[in-house]
């Protein structure tokens, strides 16, 4: 083989290898519900945004405290001073007066607000309350997001069990198809039975593929929410149904009184209480301390002007009042009162909505338990019915359509039972979320 041909062949092989997509090896990671919630709290993107809001509110409180400190300024000027011109009253006899041309000045000034009707103190308190609002908003979002991620987690649990159900039924359908093909060769059944069995097997394979695809989609959502690498395949824990006992509904109603959403609504009313004090403080006079010092050259207060430095300082009290606030503030107070009434109405509505949600979740939990028990009985009956119909078909006492109906009923019962088990878990944690305990 010529060297050129060998080099070309080697290059083509390398290009072919590079063109083949390399897939990262997937690794399964079993995650418990407790681990799920902890990873969600640490890594969920929306909770990071909520945490940033807390940091911003905390820093805003520190910025508001700056109003308690004096304001201090310093200035330095260097300038050119032109000659002056002196004129008579009729603007005649202009006389030029020579001036020192180089001028400089250095000044310092300090002001400190001593009192303005509690404006500074209440402004700081408002920012502190808003910081608490952001913390409660984080806790409320955390509960909502935990339940959302748990829903994806339980969907994966359902899909895993559904995949197992489909796999078992596919194996059963393959065995049934082999039996029908044998009966067809013996001339006992028609070709139509073989086609129907093949069609059902194809549908089962397609349904399993859809389940696998849905699981891949949910797995991506989970890895993003939990901050896990893309190659990780989340596997729910096997002992998922081991939930705590549910107490009386009154216990959950009582717990909902401390729900972050309700505390958030009530804290908003408190903000308007303090805001009313801030608005009323606008009508109060402001008392300030001031002090200043100025070093200036040349000295222009003497005639002729002297190229010398002069230094002067002052200190004292300043009392100011905004007269327009006397007739503008009442309208602001009225607006704040309306907004406070709205916030109080929202707090009452939130409390009632939580009571309704807790009651509904409590009922739905017990409904999920009843459904699981019912579907468990239906699953056993459907399995027994299928075994009977399979025996009848093999003995030519039933047609294939009856056997396929029994097979579909068995599949539906198994899928419903699988979903019902996961629904119990979701209903339990939703009850905890609605009562503020998740």
Highest mean pLDDT among 21-25, 223-227, 400-404, 416-420: 223-227
CB-CB contact of 369 with 408 (8 Å): no
Residue 334's Cα: distance from chain center in Å?
35
Query: Is residue 372 situated within a structural domain?
Result: yes
Domain that includes residue 410, residue range: 38-69+116-161+222-285+322-434
Name the nearest CA neighbour of 220 among 233, 207, 209, 208. 233
Do 251 and 271 have their domain in common? yes
Query: Is residue 109 situated within a structural domain?
Result: yes
Name the nearest CA neighbour of 140 among 261, 288, 303, 6. 261
Asked if pLDDT for residue 128 goes beyond 80, the answer is yes
Residue range 341-363: mean pLDDT, rounded:
94
Do 403 and 305 have their domain in common? no
Asked if pLDDT for residue 3 goes beyond 60, the answer is no
Dist CA 36 CA 17 (whole Å): 39
CB-CB contact of 262 with 347 (8 Å): yes
- pLDDT band at residue 244 under the 50/70/90 scheme: low
Q: Which residue has the tokens 């009184």?
A: 257
3 state SS of 228: coil
- pLDDT band at residue 84 under the 50/70/90 scheme: confident
Domain containing residue 392: CATH number: 1.20.1600.10
- pLDDT band at residue 219 under the 50/70/90 scheme: very high
Last residue of a domain, one of 304, 320, 336: 320
Do 343 and 272 have their domain in common? yes
Asked if pLDDT for residue 255 goes beyond 60, the answer is yes
Query: Is residue 110 situated within a structural domain?
Result: yes
Query: Is residue 179 situated within a structural domain?
Result: no
Query: Is residue 208 situated within a structural domain?
Result: no
Do 102 and 120 have their domain in common? no
Do 303 and 407 have their domain in common? no
Asked if pLDDT for residue 401 goes beyond 90, the answer is no
Do 108 and 246 have their domain in common? no
3 state SS of 176: helix
Dist CA 125 CA 266 (whole Å): 16
Dist CA 435 CA 438 (whole Å): 8
Express as a percent the part of the chain with pLDDT over 70: 93
Asked if pLDDT for residue 381 goes beyond 50, the answer is yes
pTM score, whole prediction: 0.79
Window from 16-20, 274-278, 288-292 with minimum mean pLDDT: 16-20
């Amino acid at each position: 083989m010529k060297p050129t041909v060998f080099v070309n062949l080697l290059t083509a092989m390398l290009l072919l290898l590079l063109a083949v997509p390399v897939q990262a090896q997937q690794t399964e990671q079993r995650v418990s519900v407790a681990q799920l919630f902890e990873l969600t709290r640490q890594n969920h993107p929306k909770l990071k945004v909520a945490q940033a809001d807390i940091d911003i509110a905390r820093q805003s409180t520190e910025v508001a405290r700056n109003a308690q400190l004096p304001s201090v300024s310093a200035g330095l000027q260097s300038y050119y001073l032109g000659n002056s011109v002196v004129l008579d009253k009729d603007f005649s006899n202009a006389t030029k007066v020579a001036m020192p041309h180089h001028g400089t000045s250095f000044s310092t000034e300090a002001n400190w607000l001593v009192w303005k009707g509690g404006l500074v103190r209440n402004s700081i308190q408002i920012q502190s309350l808003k910081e608490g609002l952001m913390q409660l908003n984080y806790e409320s979002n955390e509960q909502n997001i935990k339940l959302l991620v748990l829903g994806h987690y339980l969907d994966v649990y359902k899909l895993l069990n559904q995949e197992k159900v489909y796999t078992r039924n596919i194996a059963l359908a393959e065995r049934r198809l082999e039996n029908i093909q044998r009966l067809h060769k013996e001339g006992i059944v028609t070709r139509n039975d073989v086609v129907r069995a093949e069609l059902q097997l194809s549908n089962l394979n397609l349904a399993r593929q859809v389940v696998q695809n849905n699981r891949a989609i949910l797995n991506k959502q989970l890895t993003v929410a939990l901050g896990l690498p893309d190659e990780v395949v989340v596997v729910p824990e096997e002992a998922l149904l081991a939930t705590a006992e549910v107490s009386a509904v009154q216990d959950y109603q009582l717990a909902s009184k401390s729900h972050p959403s309700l505390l958030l609504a009530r804290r908003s009313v408190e903000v308007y209480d303090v805001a009313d004090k801030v608005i009323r403080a606008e009508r109060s006079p402001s008392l300030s301390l001031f002090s200043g010092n100025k070093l200036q050259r040349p000295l222009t207060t003497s005639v002729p002007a002297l190229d010398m430095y002069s230094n002067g300082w002052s200190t004292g009290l300043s009392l100011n009042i905004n007269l327009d606030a006397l007739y503008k503030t009442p309208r602001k107070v009225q607006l704040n009162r309306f907004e406070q009434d709205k916030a109080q109405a929202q707090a009452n509505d939130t409390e009632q909505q939580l009571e309704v949600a807790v009651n509904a979740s409590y009922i739905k939990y017990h409904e999920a338990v009843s459904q699981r028990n019912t579907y468990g009985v239906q699953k056993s009956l459907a399995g027994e019915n299928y075994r009977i119909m399979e025996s009848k078909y093999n003995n030519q006492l039933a047609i294939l359509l009856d056997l396929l109906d029994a097979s579909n009923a068995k599949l539906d019962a198994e899928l419903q039972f699988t979903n019902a088990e996961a629904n119990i878990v979701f209903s339990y944690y939703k009850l905890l979320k609605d009562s503020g305990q998740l």
